[in-house]
């Protein structure tokens, strides 16, 4: 299984190889490599923030599903039926 860091590193290496191959001016190459490094750092942080958010959302969703499972739907249904019966009885009088 691939990790995001490995994928980011692979893309970063490919970009740096392209710069090394096709850019002959050392100052321009250095500037482009710094930009590639900045992109990689930003992308790592973005993926980490996304993964952290997804983990937190999944945990909260699981917690809410468990709480919903504890709800007594039969008792709730009985309450609704009692209210409906009382309303119909009041209308009939």
Query: pLDDT value at position 30?
Result: 97
Query: pLDDT value at position 35?
Result: 97
What counts of helices (H) and strands (E) characterise the chain? Answer: 3, 0
d(CA 37, CA 30): 11
Structure tokens at 69: 């499972």
pLDDT tens across 4-28, in order?
A: 899 999 999 999 999 999 999 999 9
Query: pLDDT value at position 2?
Result: 62
User: Position of tokens 């937190």?
Assistant: 56
């Amino acid at each position: 299984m691939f990790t995001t860091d490995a994928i980011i590193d692979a893309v970063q290496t490919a970009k740096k190889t392209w710069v090394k191959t096709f850019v002959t001016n050392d100052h321009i190459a250095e500037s482009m490599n710094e930009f590639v490094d900045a992109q990689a750092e930003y992308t790592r942080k973005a993926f980490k923030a996304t993964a952290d958010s997804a983990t937190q959302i999944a945990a909260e969703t699981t917690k809410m599903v468990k709480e919903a499972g504890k709800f007594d739907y039969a008792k709730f249904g009985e309450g609704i039926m009692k209210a409906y019966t009382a309303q119909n009885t009041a209308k009939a009088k």
